[in-house]
Structure 1
Amino acid sequence: MASKVIHALYTDDDLLLQAVRQVREARYSIGQIYTPFPVHGLDKAMGLAPTRLAITAFLYGIIGLSVAAAMMNFIMIEDWPMDIGGKPSFSFIQNMPSFVPIMFELTVFFAAHLMVFTFFMRSKLWPFKKAENPDSRTTDDHFLMEVVVGSHDAEELTGFLFNTGASEIKLIDKK
């Protein structure tokens, strides 16, 4: 089933933010917004829920810390204990101050690398995926707001979007 959407192009990020607020106040549905760079405050203007990526980063850091502690305990205490600089290798707790840098580094390593994979999966950016950008100018200097026509009058919506400062408007049949 094909639905109709309107692509409104803007040339300024402040103009886009104001237009998003006006479109939301008028109770129109915004499908997607394409920008050449992150626009501060756009997520709040669109009414998007806060992201939970920080929680996953914390959990990945905990996993990294656990792996580091288990690895250091096995390598330096259980498997091959060595007397380095006169420090005894009897327990993990006694040697923990010397393990702190390694545990810190693996915590950051796990959090950073697993967050990259999480971001790619969440954004559906698979290897060799074809770009879904509706207008190539949005990678350079334009901002595109996709507004769902739905049960609204397309002519009225087009006029409304021109009044918000859109420089170009196209009616698109989306499949």
Structure 2
Amino acid sequence: MSSTKFILGLFDDPDVMMHGIDKLQKNSVPIYDVYTPMPIHGIDDKLGIKSSRLGYAAFMFGCLGGTTIFSIIYYTLVHDWPMNIGGKPAFAVPNFIPATFEWTVLFTAFGMTITFFFATHLFPGRAPRVMELRATDDRFVIAIDAKGNIPHEDITNILKEAGAVEIKHNDRKYVSYE
């Protein structure tokens, strides 16, 4: 039994890589992930990746921030220490709007930053998990899980036919920077 965990096909052109994805899918080879040094339009649809739910998280963080400051202002100015300023009512909603807006934006920004770090495992001080170091520079990488039922030689031949510049058999999931 082979110790290979992933088969990596390295491409030097995004169009050739997209052709390689089509060829692998045509031969029913399951693709683990694709790593590119830049965003490529249409690759998410081709790989069947669902749209992100980060927008829902941003909305919830915004609601939390707005509710928090509105509650603090309401409690402070209406219940705890009501003041008569120029005969205006203590609960004047237009006066609450600027602070509520600012806290909504603040909570959304900090919440999305924390959510991004949590979702991508890129906490400050942690080395990023990279399958092939050149995928961040100049190579387009298709990673295929080698534990499938397709022989490794067949996958290698499909990648060569698709135009892969280099094919690697990794026995580790990620490459470390050390």
Of all paired residues, the percent bearing the same amino acid is: 33
Say which SS state the counterpart of residue 28 (structure 1) adopts. Answer: coil
**For residues 103 and 18 of structure 1, do their structure 2 counterparts lie closer, same or farther at Cα, with a shift above 3 Å needed?**
farther
Q: Deviations over 1:112-140 (max 9, x none)?
A: 21111112112222333223213222111
The 1-side partners of 2:167 and 2:55 are apart by 37
Does residue 99 (structure 1) correspond to residue 96 (structure 2)? The answer is yes
Q: In the TM superposition, what are the counterparts of 1:96-135 in structure 2 within 5 Å?
A: 96-135=93-132
Q: Deviation at 1:83?
A: 4.7
For the 8 Å contact 2:9–2:143, the answer to whether it is kept is yes
Q: Number of residue pairs matched?
A: 171
Q: Which runs of 4+ in 1 moved over 4 A?
A: none
| Structure 1 residues 14-49: Cα deviation after superposition (integer angstroms, max 9, x where no partner) | 332332233223211112222222323222211122
CA contact (8 A) 2:16 2:163 kept: yes
CA RMSD of aligned residues (A): 2.2
> 1:77 touches 1:89 (CA, 8 Å); kept in 2?
no
Find the counterpart in structure 2 of residue 48 from structure 1.
49
Partner of 1:159: 157
Match of 2:176 in 1: none
Q: Give unpaired runs (5+ residues) of structure 2.
A: 174-178
Paired amino acid for 1:65: G
Amino acid corresponding to residue 53 of structure 2 in structure 1: R
Preserved CA contact (<8 Å) 1:81 1:89:
no
Whole-Å separation in 1 of the counterparts to 2:53 and 2:119: 11
Distance 1:129 1:68 in 2: 34
Report the secondary structure of 2:82's partner residue: coil
Which deviates further from its counterpart, 13-22 or 3-12? Answer: 13-22
1:81 aligns with 2:82: yes
Q: Structure 2: how far apart are the matches of 1:16 and 1:72?
A: 56
User: Within the alignment, does 1:139 sit opposite 2:136 as a pair?
Assistant: yes
Q: What runs of 5+ residues in structure 1 fail to find an aligned partner?
A: none
Q: Tell me how far apart the structure 2 counterparts of residues 29 and 87 of structure 1 sit (CA, whole Å).
A: 71
Query: 1:61 maps to which residue?
Result: 62
